[in-house]
Amino acid sequence: MLKYAIMSGVLQEQEISPSVLITGASGFLGKYAVSEFAGNGYEVVATGRNTHALASIEQPGVTTLAVTLEDMRELEMPVDTLIHAAALSSPWGRWRDFYESNVDGTEHIIRFAVRNKVQRFIYVSSPSIYSGPGDRLNIAEDEYDAGNHLNHYIRSKLQAEQRLKEAHETGDLPELLVIRPRGLIGIGDPSLVPRLLEANRKTGIPLFFDGQNEVDLTCVENVALALRLATEARNITDGTFNITNGEPARFKDLVDSFFLALGETPHYKQINYKVAYYLAAVLEKACMLLPNTPEPPLTRYTVTTLAHSQTLDISRARAELGYQPKLSLVEGIAKFAAHHRSSHV
């Protein structure tokens, strides 16, 4: 990016760094996104609520700001691009909490973008909106049910996407790009692999249909790369993009690979799909009636995710963003396993 200044009476060009603001910068993906942008010459504003986590990502070119999404509504801080990665992400919880975090929260960030005349808005959504009973392979970005209410998280992400599209259509958001990254793995993963490790220690990893269902995973470094490519892509003002490693594999094969790299033995528990889905529905209803709505040991979302094939078509990201994963699954698993072993000696 160029700016102009008068030096010695002459108008001269000066190179300045492009700026990007990242919400949810203290989260799993957010931290990697900050490093990706800072490492490629961007001036980064990293926002979040966790001051300790924000302190851990401070580096040259990065300004950290401890604020809530609601605080940002009235904040004046012009930036070139805004990446909205902050979200309440969980397979279970109260609708009010998901709505406030993911729908109202997105509305606050839209107001920030309008106030500061942000040119490009990039939203990190979720491919969980494709979820449901049945196998689905090579899913394109427009192949989803807008009325999917399998869980509150899915419902909230769909509503947030719709609100953003409305803001784009009215001109409030001149450029809107949405990415849907699938199954993030990497050092610092707070969910996917930790849940597998916990299940392996306690009851065994649930296995449906012998684990032959095909699934997609994505190294978190590749998602951070996709965000930068979405920031730099020219000749597009809108679009939605699936992001994966482009290496679909059978569920059991992937789990075996993880545990082999970790030097541990996976323990599986064969489960009948129909029984599990029915039981999950009953447990969900029961937990909704209990104080604080505790997470049931099994949810319909978890059952469908573990039992059915779901792979995504990433041809649009390859063609329009120039996306090419920089870290393979083999490399990503080895990197995670090496860190895990060294931190558990």
pLDDT per residue as tens digits for the range 299-314: 999 999 999 999 999 9
Q: What is the total residue count of the chain?
A: 345
- Determine the pLDDT at residue 9: 52
Distance, C-alpha 61 to centroid of its chain: 23
- As a whole number of angstroms, the distance between CA 234 and CA 151 comes to 36
- Confidence at residue 15, expressed as pLDDT on a 0 to 100 scale: 60
The residues near 230 (Cβ < 8 Å, ≥ 6 apart) are 122, 177, 179, 241, 321
Average pLDDT over residues 122-151: 96
- Strand bridging mode 218-219 / 62-66: unpaired
Burial class of residue 171 in the structure, from the number of CB atoms within 10 Å of its CB (0-12 exposed, 13-18 middle, 19+ buried): exposed
Instruction: Name residue 162's amino acid.
Output: Q
Q: What is the pLDDT of residue 6?
A: 46
Q: What's the confidence (pLDDT) of residue 16? A: 73
DSSP 23-53: ETTTSHHHHHHHHHHHTTT-EEEEEES-HHH
Percent of the chain scored above 90 by pLDDT?
88
Confidence class for position 13, pLDDT limits 50, 70, 90: low
**In angstroms, rounded to a whole number, what is the distance separating the alpha carbons of residues 300 and 283?**
9
pLDDT digits (tens, 9 = 90+) for 259-300: 999 999 999 999 999 999 999 999 999 999 998 889 998 899
Three-state secondary structure call for residue 345 = coil
CA distance 151 to 136: 18
**Rounded Cα distance, 276 and 207, in Å:** 11
To the question of domain 18-343 being in CATH 3.30.70.330, the answer is no
